[in-house]
Homo-oligomer: A and B are copies of this chain.
Amino acid sequence: MNKWYMNDGSERDIVVSSRIRLARNLNGYPFPNKMTSEQKYEVIQKVSDAITKSRSKWKNKFVFYDMDKISRINAYSMVERHLISPDFAENGQGRAALITEDETVSIMINEEDHVRIQVLTSGLELKTAYKIANEIDSLLDKSLNFAFDSELGYLTECPTNLGTGMRACAMLHIPALETMGAINPLGNTISKIGLTMRGTFGEGSTVKCSMYQLSNQVTLGISESSAIENLENMTKQIIARERQARSGIDRDKLEDMAYRAWGVLSSARMISSAEFLNLADKLRLGIGMEIFDRVGLEVIDELIMICQPASLQVKAGGALDEETRDKLRARTIRETLEK
């Protein structure tokens, strides 16, 4: 089955993915950080049942992961694929995840809140992602009856999530703005209108492959659709600016850069994660600017997913030292590019 990143999406040359995350909690239980093991187990059971015992089309679409039982490598590979949070991977005790095979929907149980629903789509497709998230939300709510206050909205552990409990996020590939040094000033503007720009893996993470998370900050006193509208508008502005910045790049130099990146990626026998991401960044820009067309954006986005350290080790079926990983990464890249 195709993963979400193999599907097309609008403005995909700049918007790698759209993501919607909903924070929800069950009535009658304290927040996860105050729960007993028994309570955690109960919540896991209830959430899981709400799907698998339903009559919905989602009934058989999820795979259940007991986070306490899966290997750390497996857990970190989920982080790399943006399916769960780093904290969720660090500590699996009393936690579980439900993830669809195409990795579009993931549900973290007993992260900061009882339930975190997340939907990922490729390109700028926030409304599509929200529609799916809303479907899952309704399905779960039917049997779980999420904690909701008529004034405060959805109750969440952290007050910054109160209200809609929704975080909408666009993953932007903006190498031209980055090269121009335009990201920091942009970040300042953005924060004034209730949005925020973060690193590739969210708050406090470093930026990889010129990819930035743009997301909404405000969840209280604003509807889901308005929040999504705001984010979409700002995303479109950034897209326009990135396109403007890209139009100023010397096409000959970019062509050379993209082809060299292709040359190394399709030839190297060992490649580090950092070098790979650096080259993927350049190649993605070349493809986005229609200067390079031997592969599509989806191939690069797939590589970025499958070539990170933990995902490679999952593929290999066990822990690998750095050199072996670098070799496997190079082989994986070559095989994927040759396809």
Interface residues of A (CB under 8 A from B): 252-253, 255-256, 259-260, 262-270, 323, 327, 330
Contacts and interface: CB of A to CB of B under 8 A. Distances in A.
Given A256-B268, A260-B268, A263-B264, 20 more contacts: A252-B270, A252-B323, A255-B269, A256-B269, A256-B270, A259-B267, A259-B268, A259-B269, A260-B263, A260-B264, A260-B267, A260-B269, A262-B267, A263-B263, A263-B265, A263-B266, A263-B267, A263-B268, A264-B264, A266-B267
A271 to B, nearest CB: 8
A330 B270 contact: no
Copies in the complex: 2
* Max chain B C-beta neighbours (<10 A), residue from A263, A265, A266, A270: A263
A257 to B, nearest CB: 9
A287 to B, nearest CB: 14
Contacts of A323: 252
Contacts of A256: 268-270, 330
B264 A252 contact: no
29 contacts: A252-B269, A252-B270, A252-B323, A252-B327, A253-B270, A255-B269, A256-B268, A256-B269, A256-B270, A256-B330, A259-B267, A259-B268, A259-B269, A260-B263, A260-B264, A260-B267, A260-B268, A260-B269, A262-B263, A262-B267, A263-B263, A263-B264, A263-B265, A263-B266, A263-B267, A263-B268, A264-B264, A264-B267, A266-B267
A266 B294 CA distance: 14
